[in-house]
Structure 1
């Protein structure tokens, strides 16, 4: 039996590597359903999506790729959007979801209509859909592991939450809670909601800061580190260790502070170009390939040693990024088999 399983796995990998097509995708249409575009990460995500998918259309790999972003962040709006995409007859829907569970009815309706659904970043729990994401819980835990190395005696933490109700916010928060259990000499002394946006984070931190004791470090979700630093500076308080989320303004500020006073921290988040991996996963499923329901990819990190390279390669107003070619996507899929 073991030899048979090994043989089946080898056949699957061999088929993927040879690029043999089981179904023709050149006449197929793929839609992106996106629930939010209000920060630099989402803008970079959409830019990567447009760059890679427009080339795929030009190359004749698929017939069309269309992008739909909701006017608000509400689940009913995105559910209605998905229902509309079903009526329009798309072959696949790639979705960055407003909720892990509340969209399951619309997702199931799409699956029942024969539409391939691939969720990414904000994934869905409906079993018929595929999921492309990083281990967000581990990302939260990693922040505490890093801080434990920097602050062996522990300290007070401010936690900045992301977009309320999303799977991403919940999982990173849970990972941070796991990290505090692992390193109990750290204490969460305050919480602010930053919506993954620097301006929002700055306002939220400024609001809670007067009531907080000394803060030794800030744990974050991305898109909030620079805003938090500005809030502390405006309040005349020493800036603690702030975990960053790969945004260009965060990285540039970190580099500036490192050069001025030796400031050290760590940065990590999912690359915006994960949208392009989700696109290729959808295309490969339409092409008849066997794809695991969960495709987990590493999150993108920046360290003190790689900071200069990251700043040099990240456009102003952007996010450190990685986009996927079809070949890289196939390899990522095989890594999850």
Structure 2
């Protein structure tokens, strides 16, 4: 699935509409006012996940106010613990939640609990970190392509020759696996390029800076850095602290990264910024609500990644507050329209 450029300032404003004549004809209007939807989130240690939680809270508050749900709280496990999250899902079923939206610690480790939830009549929607249990719904960006696009961009910038450092995300999560595989598969097309080092940055600037600083002394010249989001600025700081030339670093839509990029000068420092959309949490919220309301959504749905280009940076940066990530907040109507459009 192609990335969606922010050339026309695609940062959406919160647009929640109560069940009314303004609703799209495709929106299901079954009564969900007494239903509770829970978010089971596996990790909150970076700005991307914090943005997901903030956006979820905004949408949940307005949906509750509009009488579309009874409640929609978020629950986060400690440090991506699949065992704890599986237990959390079981508890949410016992507490009477009609739908559970999951950002999973593992694509497979939660399947047993999810299967039990489905058997109890609970709607399960996974997003970002998706699961493989067939009864669950999945909302996924094409993370494999996201990795491939980074390699293609660097190959063009470097003339098909160069050493790359790979900064991965969180070990064991499907997002990390998919982006990594996209990088590995795509680099095979460029014999003159190779990965000379790899670290786990946990999608966090401070961790990425520390891990890159630790590996730099053992690396030859690095010409480009492929990343996963939340790590680009930390990588740049590690290179500067080591007294090494800052290579072309793929950025990940965090405000501090975009601000740093602008400081370098887009005409001087040529890169791109690409990441999944933290607004995926709001997409998943409305998907769950619509399934409860009777909308027959497909079990596999797609959400574009967001790309910031040199041309769109000056539009996107002012709309991305410090400590946040470039993001959309989806409305119910947008979600239904996007899903219906994908079916055509």
Output the TM-score relative to the length of structure 2. 0.91
Give the C-alpha shift of residue 20 in structure 1. 6.0
Aligned partner of 1:148 among 142, 155, 170? 155
Give the C-alpha shift of residue 17 in structure 1. 4.2
Gaps of 5+ in 2: 1-22
Look up the match of 1:94.
101
User: Higher relative CO (CA 8 A, sep ≥ 6), structure 1 or 2?
Assistant: 2
**Mapped pair 1:129 → 2:145:** no
5 Å matches for 1:1-337? Answer: 17-19=24-26, 21=28, 23-258=30-265, 262-337=268-343
Aligned length: 321
What is the CA RMSD across the aligned residues, in angstroms? 1.2
Deviations along 1:242-289, whole A, 9 cap, x unmatched? 001101111111110116x71110111111111000000001100111
Flag the structure with higher helix content.
Answer: 1
Contact 1:292 1:336 in 2 (8 A): no
Find the aligned partners of 1:236 and 1:71 in 2 and give their Cα distance: 36
Find the aligned partners of 1:279 and 1:33 in 2 and give their Cα distance: 12
Find the aligned partners of 1:20 and 1:276 in 2 and give their Cα distance: 16
Gaps of 5+ in 1: 1-15
Q: Secondary structure at the match of 2:72?
A: strand
Contact 2:279 2:327 in 1 (8 A): yes
Q: Secondary structure at the match of 1:65?
A: coil
Find the aligned partners of 2:110 and 2:167 in 1 and give their Cα distance: 26
Output the TM-score relative to the length of structure 1. 0.93
Deviations along 1:140-167, whole A, 9 cap, x unmatched? 0010111122112320000001000000
Q: Secondary structure at the match of 2:188?
A: helix
Give the C-alpha shift of residue 61 in structure 1. 0.8
